[in-house]
Amino acid sequence: MVEVTRQGRKGLLFVVSAPSGAGKTSLCQEVTKIVPNLEHSVSFTTRPPRPGETHGKNYFFVDEGTFQQKRERNDFVEWAEVHGHLYGTPRELLMEKLDKGVDVILDIDSQGAMQLKKKYKEGVYIYILPPSPEVLRTRLMERKSDSPEEISRRLKKAREEIWNYRQYYYLIVNDDFKEALKKLESIVIAERTKMRQLDYSWIEETFIVQR
Amino acid sequence: MVEVTRQGRKGLLFVVSAPSGAGKTSLCQEVTKIVPNLEHSVSFTTRPPRPGETHGKNYFFVDEGTFQQKRERNDFVEWAEVHGHLYGTPRELLMEKLDKGVDVILDIDSQGAMQLKKKYKEGVYIYILPPSPEVLRTRLMERKSDSPEEISRRLKKAREEIWNYRQYYYLIVNDDFKEALKKLESIVIAERTKMRQLDYSWIEETFIVQR
């Protein structure tokens, strides 16, 4: 493979939001498995772990005091309160990856994404929708970890969350998981193929200077 | 599949250029086979057919008189002279497809592409490069239909052709055919997933009005 990626190129930042139940987390996890050099950013949260979730892998689970301290120290590039819990993206970990040229996928809610977009326009903002509100409800009910009150709170929140969708650059409707995954993968590959991501000096030395 | 594509959406126009020998024609042909609702636009040319080429499929082969007449009638959205032959993209056929919502891939040289870009900024401009000038030479020599003079004319022309590459939005280096094809496919899929391609009214009726 010819290396056309710019030397010292900073990683691309993919920011993915969706109402809960749209399949965002699974899509973001799967895409890092099929696309090389793409890593998932792990957020801090005050939410208790769900069954099967691991500290340091799914989230860094911390108490509210620790979270607020980090927030005050400006340790988060964005943070938000969702369903009564706090979520934040750690600045240092993210910047380290991007500086190394690793592309990062950030799976955050639209409040946080819109904060980030003001500072970081060159990020790639992707919104994921379920095919209908009914599907959203069914998916939330199948996720047995949530109580009925939690489900109806999440559904109401979903409507609010969706309000911002037009601020994103891409929209994926997660009707069929495989197809949605292919779209997400395609966005990552296409963004990497954009002219500004590439090493002009290699091209100019090879094809243009050499005449 | 939920239909999120805008009703009455115009087709997307993908414009692909490359120095000859970069594999542009094969890539454009293959991508229309794997991506649905994407058609190749057939150009007019005064170049004689190569073995295996069919009138109406690869090109509309016409004599110079016919070509000039069409050009004077403004029948081409772009036209150019390449290696002493004339090439032109028929306006009516192209517009018909785009108006029906079919995405079209146009495989034209950079002179023509740059003409088109002035009028049609919303097109998706893609440049394809071979991995090195040596590979380009080898590929041109393997194509037995061209004489040695034709090959060196094409190589010189290739250097000139490449000058414009930075005006394109995407760049694909065709080192490995399968990988280059995957990139081209990804660009088509990603462009279709862009927010402006989608049916907002469906989303707003389904998720936002219904509260």
**Would you say residue A137 lies in a domain?**
yes
DSSP category for residue B102: -
Give the largest CA-CA distance in chain A: 71
**Would you say residue B185 lies in a domain?**
yes
- Predicted local distance difference test score (pLDDT) of residue A13: 97
**Residue B124: closest C-alpha in chain A:** A194
Q: Chain B partners of A198 at a C-beta cutoff of 8 Å?
A: 171
Residue B151 to residue B140: CA distance in whole angstroms = 6
**Would you say residue B167 lies in a domain?**
yes
- Predicted local distance difference test score (pLDDT) of residue A65: 97
- Predicted local distance difference test score (pLDDT) of residue A211: 43
pLDDT bucket at B199, cuts 50 / 70 / 90: low
- Predicted local distance difference test score (pLDDT) of residue A61: 97
Are the beta carbons of B162 and A190 separated by less than 8 Å? no
Q: Which of B4, B127, B133 sits opposite A173 (nearest CB)?
A: B4
**Would you say residue A72 lies in a domain?**
no
- Predicted local distance difference test score (pLDDT) of residue A164: 85
How do beta strands A43-45 and B103-107 pair? Answer: unpaired
Residue A136 to residue A171: CA distance in whole angstroms = 16
SS3 A56: coil
Mean of the pLDDT values across residues B37-64?
A: 94
- Predicted local distance difference test score (pLDDT) of residue A209: 56
Rounded to the nearest angstrom, the minimum Cα separation between A142 and chain B is 20
Phi-psi region of A32 (alpha: psi -120 to 50; beta: other; left: phi over 0): alpha
Share of chain B above pLDDT 90, in %: 60
- Predicted local distance difference test score (pLDDT) of residue A86: 96
* B136 touches B159 (CB < 8 A): no
Q: Chain B partners of A172 at a C-beta cutoff of 8 Å?
A: 193
Q: Taking 70 as the threshold, does the pLDDT of residue B6 lie above it?
A: no
Which parts of chain A register pLDDT below 70?
A: 1-8, 143-145, 199-200, 208-211
**Would you say residue B183 lies in a domain?**
yes
pLDDT bucket at B102, cuts 50 / 70 / 90: very high
- Whether A196 and chain B come into contact, CB under 8 Å, resolves to no
Q: Describe chain A by its helix, strand, coil percentages, rounded to 5.
A: 45, 20, 30
**Would you say residue B95 lies in a domain?**
no
Sequence-separated (6 or more) residues with CB below 8 Å from residue A147: none
Are the beta carbons of B171 and A133 separated by less than 8 Å? no
Are the beta carbons of A185 and B185 separated by less than 8 Å? no
Rounded to the nearest angstrom, the minimum Cα separation between B31 and chain A is 14
pLDDT bucket at B150, cuts 50 / 70 / 90: confident
- Count of structural domains, chain B: 1
Rounded to the nearest angstrom, the minimum Cα separation between B120 and chain A is 19
- Whether B179 and chain A come into contact, CB under 8 Å, resolves to yes
Are the beta carbons of B133 and A206 separated by less than 8 Å? yes
pLDDT bucket at B90, cuts 50 / 70 / 90: very high
**Would you say residue A95 lies in a domain?**
no
Are the beta carbons of B168 and A206 separated by less than 8 Å? no
**Residue B160: closest C-alpha in chain A:** A208
* Alpha helices (H) in B73-173, listed in sequence order: 91-99, 110-119, 133-142, 148-162
Q: Taking 50 as the threshold, does the pLDDT of residue B181 lie above it?
A: yes
Q: Residue B200's domain spans which residues?
A: 13-41+103-209
- Whether B171 and chain A come into contact, CB under 8 Å, resolves to yes
Give me the CATH number covering residue A154: 3.40.50.300
Q: Taking 90 as the threshold, does the pLDDT of residue B31 lie above it?
A: yes
Mean pLDDT of chain B: 88
Rounded to the nearest angstrom, the minimum Cα separation between A20 and chain B is 13
> Token pair of B70, please?
């069409």
Interface probe with A: pick from B16, B189, B199, B202, most Cβ of A within 10 Å: B189
State if pTM tops 0.90.
no
- Predicted local distance difference test score (pLDDT) of residue B211: 43
Read off the amino acid at residue B123.
Answer: G
**Would you say residue B143 lies in a domain?**
yes
- Whether B168 and chain A come into contact, CB under 8 Å, resolves to yes
CA dihedral A21, A23, A28, A29 (to 10 degrees): 100
Mean of the pLDDT values across residues B88-115?
A: 94
- Predicted local distance difference test score (pLDDT) of residue A22: 85
- Predicted local distance difference test score (pLDDT) of residue B145: 67
